[in-house]
Structure 1
Amino acid sequence: MRLNRLEVRRLATIESLDLDLGDGFCAFTGETGAGKSIIVDALGLLMGTRTNADLVRSGTEDLLVTGFWNDESASRRVTSAGRSTTRLEGEVVSLKELAAWTSERLTIHWQHSAQTLLSPAHQRAMLDRTLAGSEVEAYKEAFKAWTDARSRLDRLRANERERARQLDLLEYQLQEIDAVTPVVGEEDPLNAELARLSNLETIATGAAGALELLSEADVNAVSLVTDAVRAMTQSAKYDANVAQLLEEVKAAREALKAVAGELASVAEDSAPDPEELARIESRLAALSKLRTKYGPTLEDVLKYRDEVSAQLTELRRDERDAGSLDAEVEARLRDVRKRGEALSKARAKIAPTLASKLLAVVRELGMPHARLSFALAPLDEPASHGVENVELMFSANPGEQLGHLADVASGGELSRVMLAVSTVLGADTPTVVFDEVDAGIGGSAANAVAAQLAALAEQRQVLVVTHLAQIAARANHHYKVEKHVEGGRTVTRVRELVDDEREAEIARMLSGSDSSAARQHARELLTAPR
């Protein structure tokens, strides 16, 4: 999925740019200072690179860069205050999410990215990328298990006194909670019962008063209803409706008697059971204490109890395991050394093959006498990356000893080694960008670099900012970056060249002029067999 289109607004000297990008090899050329690298800077913003307000075109409030991959898009807006807004498919995302998304689609080799080759970690990673087996992952897992066990043992030895104090505290807290055994939801019914018991005298008085009115007073509800029954009995013999009503009145009388019986029982129970009252008050006090210490709710108390139990389990296990961890650490270390030996053998086996492939390309890039190899130096102690250091050794000239790449390679040589790595190992993304990878390169080496870039472009979309005519002439698409003054302001524009325009630009790159001789040379480059 290649990059189809790039839209840039208000970035440095670019006011507005809508750039459609082709397949294969795309070259960007232009006069020195025209702003060729601004294109790479724009893509870098989509990669999540750090930025500052200086990139925002002066006199404007923000810049905006949008990249299109078929039906997908990514954009980043940066304000003059330095704040960023990033989007994927129009939805706001974090800068980290944007960078992760674009890094699967785009790789940028900056002008100084060849410096990453100087890192032993990068050189080791290059070699490990070519391993066919799982030796690296197996070693990493074993190393992590060893270091985890060792750290745990160190922690146990260093914190024995603190662990004992923590055990005492957690055991006390667990016992305190378990002694109460709280149940979620039990407080509400307990509080209701406490309120009832605390007000039994009031309840009994009310019940006695109601009982008096219902059945015990000289004139009471039951006697009045009984009188009503007698009054209706005779007429009920002659009227079915009255008869029905009579039955209902009788039922009401029975209900009143039943209520009166219940009230009599309530009225007699005027003194609370002191033991029950004390039990409820004690229970509520215990629950309240737990909530105060471990709450604020019983749910929180029980959750804390589970956490304490888990911590105790771990601490007790640590206490039991302290004696056996020494043996485990030693066993883990033996496994690390075993896995490390397997990884070392795999590296040693593949290193000459990779070095040979890289060397073949490096020699094609104008260094016919170069030599290159990977040196594996054993370590006294296993490290996170293995039991040896891996370094790329290099010599560009005959008769010179191999040396560390960082010590012996010039800038141009480093660029060519980087290009060899890119073409031999390939790229993990469908689009690869090179920002002046040809720095320090000229002559026949330029033709070799152009050929390597063209070969890479057969498998990937390759965007190259270059000052070499040999490289530009091999491109499938040639874009010229130009700087103009419009309305008193500098403006950078980019356009794709065709036919005579391209020939004229190649001629300028060759000689700095549009002479007939330069034109002829340009035509030869453009029509040369591939």
Structure 2
Amino acid sequence: MLRALDIRDLLIIDRLEIAFQPGLNVLTGETGAGKSILLDSLGFVLGWRGRAELVRQGAEQGEVTAVFDLSADHPARAVLDEAGIPCGSELILRRVNTAEGRKTAWVNDRRASGEVLRALSETLVELHGQHDDRGLLNPRGHRDMLDAFAGHDDLRADVRAAWRARAAAERAVAETKAALEAVRAEEDFLRHSVAELDGLAPEQGEDAALDVARRRMQGAEKVRTDIARAYDLLGGSGAEAALMDAMRWLDGAAAESDGTLDAPLAALGRAMVELTEAQSGVAASLDALDFNPTELEETEERLFAIRAMARKHGVLSDDLAEFAETLRARLAALDAGEGDLARQEADLRKARAAFDAAAEALSASRVEHASALDAAVMAELAPLKMERAVFATAITPADPGPDGRDSVAFTVATNPGAPAGPLNKIASGGELSRFLLALKVCLTGERAGVTMIFDEIDRGVGGATADAVGRRLAKLAQSGQVLVVTHSPQVAARGAHHWRVQKQVEEGMTLSTVVPLAKTERTDEIARMLAGDTITKEARAAARALLEG
């Protein structure tokens, strides 16, 4: 609820403080007194785009402060939370406009952008009038209004959940298809490469082992020749035979040597043992160097094949086995992906069917409640002297989305047989005001905690029709706050709180002010609205009758 509006140095207002109340607040006054300036000032502090030059002549800056009461669940709190602005039960908006045109805004003493102000205004205030393009005349909001009238929260939640599931299923299918296409593009390469690698079957560390074996075999021929020569010198025709002859000759002479040859004979025995061990080691070495002549060729071929494969795929020889596993995994993903895609496409069909069912249920309920809304609006139009007009909620197919697959628009035909069309295109000024009022009365539960402002919505009507307008505005105000700028005495008489906007000249400067009216002053003001500048007894009597009616 808008509790207070403080205006300083804007247009023809030097200082003005208004304390608005719950219920129906009416503002009256002569044409040009400044009633529209109040709306311009409120629009300024709410971030609406309006007049370019607002600062009062001679002032350095203009300033507007608006104070709102917020309930614990007021939707403005979500905007404040997103903007990081703390708030209790009171919301204070302040905006300053310098004479040079610079604008600065604060929300609860925190600097705020015009975007934040406008987002807050969507939750705080509704402005309705003949040039209303933000509220009921905006077709983009008609679907939400119908859903609010019908109480479609659960159905819309179902549709949105189904839409999210459908969108997720579509993304999964698209991603799987893209991945499969990428793999299919190299499928032939993968299958050929895996076959080559499987045929080669490289092992970790095999390159180094083959290289060592190759080098050993390349040098084996020369080494074996040298070792064989040494073996021959150690064998029966070489060192062994010489040792044996020496031992035989010394052994024959030992009996005649008085023991002097015993030690040499023992040493030769030990030498014979060592010589035998040496012969065995050299023989083993010769056996180790004994290889098939084709083995070197085979070793080189495999080594070169492994290295060529590594160069082909741009990896190290030791990484070939791991690389082969990677390629096999990609092929397995391709084969498994076909199955995954089939399952995902089945899930997508189910998700689409679920969305279609939820959207169909919402569409059917919209059609049903559109008829109820049309009937409710038509019932409101009769007392407003528009019983021959036709109001219809048009529901047409739209692209599927999180809110279903319906487009909703409120249409009117002002005379029987006339074609229906958008509210703001078909109805005249007075008719449009009454259509908007009838529609708003039917949608009164649409948004809680919003201050509704009606700017001369009674223009072009009078008498019993104006009285019907006033009664409906009072009905709207029963559960909230309504501000009405009016020239109709019938409407003004229905107000719970009444202010008169008036101009006065002070020191050669025209200023506008707003005066709260007591009961007697209200009688005179409504009498003025009935009779003009000269207030008669009859006018006062008629004013009292309106106030008591």
TM-score category of the 2 structures, normalised to the smaller one? 0.5 to 0.7
Amino acid at match of 2:414: A
- Judged with a 3 Å threshold, the aligned counterparts in structure 2 of structure 1 residues 31 and 349 are, in CA distance, closer, same or farther, namely same
Secondary structure (helix, strand or coil) at the match of 1:366 reads coil
Contact kept, 8 Å, 2:492 with 2:526, in 1: the verdict is yes
Structure 1 SS opposite 2:415? coil
Letter of the 2:433 counterpart: S
TM-score, normalization: structure 1?
0.63
Structure 1: which amino acid aligns with 2:20? L
> In structure 2, the residue corresponding to 1:54 is in which secondary structure?
coil
Distance, in Å, in 2 between the alignment partners of 1:358 and 1:460 is: 21
Going from structure 1 to structure 2, the CA distance change for 1:156 and 1:31 (only over 3 Å counts) comes to farther
Q: 1:124, CA displacement in angstroms?
A: 1.8
Residue 47 of structure 1: how far off its partner (Å): 2.4
Deviation of 1:28 (Å)? 0.8
SS of residue paired to 1:18: strand
Where does 1:102-117 land on structure 2 (aligned, <5 Å)? 103-113=122-132, 116-117=135-136
Q: Distance in 2 between matches of 1:322 and 1:414?
A: 55
SS in structure 2 of the partner of residue 39 of structure 1: helix
RMSD: 3.5
Give the drift of 1:456: 1.5
Task: State how far apart, in whole Å, the 2-side matches of 1:382 and 1:472 are.
Answer: 46
Aligned with residue 143 of structure 1, among 159, 163, 177? 163
Once the two structures are TM-superposed, the CA of residue 103 in structure 1 deviates from its matched residue by: 4.6
Which runs of no fewer than 5 residues in structure 2 stay unpaired?
A: 70-88, 186-329
The 8 Å contact of residues 430 and 461 in structure 2, kept in 1 or not, is answered as yes
Cα separation, 1, equivalents of 2:414 and 2:52: 42
**1:382 maps to 2:400:** yes
| Counterpart among 486, 489, 503 of residue 523 in structure 2 | 503
For the Cα contact (< 8 Å) 1:5–1:69, is it kept in 2? yes
Measured against aligned partners, the alpha-carbon deviations of 1:219-244 in whole angstroms (never above 9, x if no partner) come to xxxxxxxxxxxxxxxxxxxxxxxxxx
Q: Flag structure 1 segments of 5+ consecutive residues without an equivalent.
A: 166-311
**Counterparts in 2 of 1:488 and 1:159: CA distance versus 1, 3 Å:** farther
Deviation per residue, 1:386-427 (Å, 9 max, x gap): 233333343333454655545533232222121122222214
Q: Secondary structure at the match of 1:464?
A: strand
Deviation for aligned residue 1:341? 0.8
- Aligned to 2:494, which of 465, 474, 498? 474
Shift of 1:8: 0.6
Instruction: Select which of 372, 375, 378 maps to 1:353.
Output: 372
Higher CA-based Rg = 2
Paired residues of 1:26 and 1:464 also in contact (CA < 8 A): yes
**Paired residue for 1:57?**
56
Q: Aligned to 1:87, which of 95, 100, 106?
A: 106
Matches within 5 A, 1:24-423: 24-50=23-49, 53-69=52-68, 72=90, 73-101=92-120, 103-113=122-132, 116-133=135-152, 134-147=154-167, 149-150=169-170, 326-379=345-398, 382-398=400-416, 400=418, 403-405=421-423, 407-423=425-441
The answer to whether the 8 Å contact 2:11/2:54 transfers is yes
* 527 and 388 in structure 1: CA distance in 2 versus 1, 3 angstrom threshold: closer
Task: Give distance in 2, aligned partners of 1:77 and 1:115.
Answer: 24
Task: Determine whether 1:483 maps to 2:503.
Answer: yes
Instruction: Assess, with a 3 A threshold, how the Cα gap between structure 1 residues 377 and 93 changes in structure 2: closer, same or farther.
Output: closer
Q: Structure 2: which amino acid aligns with 1:503?
A: T
Equivalent residues of 1:6, 1:18 under 8 A apart? yes
**1:443: Cα distance to partner?**
3.2
8 Å CA contact 1:13–1:57 kept in 2: the answer is yes
Question: Amino acid of the residue matched to residue 546 of structure 2?
Answer: L
Structure 1 residues 62 and 326 mapped into 2: Cα distance closer, same or farther (>3 Å)?
A: farther
Question: Could you say what secondary structure the match of 2:53 adopts?
Answer: helix
CA 1:116–1:52 in 2, change beyond 3 Å: closer, same or farther? closer
Report SS of the residue matched to 1:44: helix
Tell me if 1:513 matches 2:533. yes
Letter of the aligned partner of 1:396 in structure 2?
Answer: T
Task: For 1:459 and 1:63, locate their aligned partners in 2 and report how far apart those are by CA, in whole Å.
Answer: 34
Deviation at 1:372, TM superposition (A): 2.6
The 8 Å contact of residues 415 and 437 in structure 1, kept in 2 or not, is answered as: yes
Q: Alpha-carbon deviation of 1:156?
A: 7.3
User: For 1:522 and 1:162, how far apart are their aligned partners in 2?
Assistant: 85
Change in CA separation of 1:4 and 1:115 when aligned onto 2, cut-off 3 Å = closer
Q: How many residue pairs align between the two structures?
A: 380
The whole-number CA distance in structure 2 between the counterparts of 1:163 and 1:466 is 72
Identity of aligned residues (%): 35
Change (3 A) 1:499 1:338: closer
Q: Following the alignment from structure 1 to structure 2, what is the Cα–Cα distance between the partners of residues 42 and 348?
A: 41
2:167 and 2:96 mapped to 1: Cα distance?
A: 43
Native 8 Å contact 1:26 1:478 kept in 2 = yes
- TM-superposed CA distance for 1:437, in Å, is 1.6
TM-superposition CA deviations, 1:475-519 (whole Å, max 9, x none): 122211112222222211111123443333223322332241662
- Asked if 1 retains the 8 angstrom alpha-carbon contact of 2:9 and 2:61, the reply is yes
- Say if 1:53 and 1:389 are closer, same or farther in 2 by CA, change over 3 A: closer
Q: Does the CA contact (< 8 Å) of 1:53 and 1:81 recur in 2?
A: no
Distance 1:508 1:476 in 2: 19
Letter of the 1:421 counterpart:
L
Q: Give, in whole Å, the separation in 2 of the partners of 1:115 and 1:88.
A: 22
Query: Following the alignment from structure 2 to structure 1, what is the Cα–Cα distance between the partners of residues 114 and 454?
Result: 23
Deviation at 1:521, TM superposition (A): 5.5
* 1:47–1:103 CA contact under 8 A, matched in 2: no
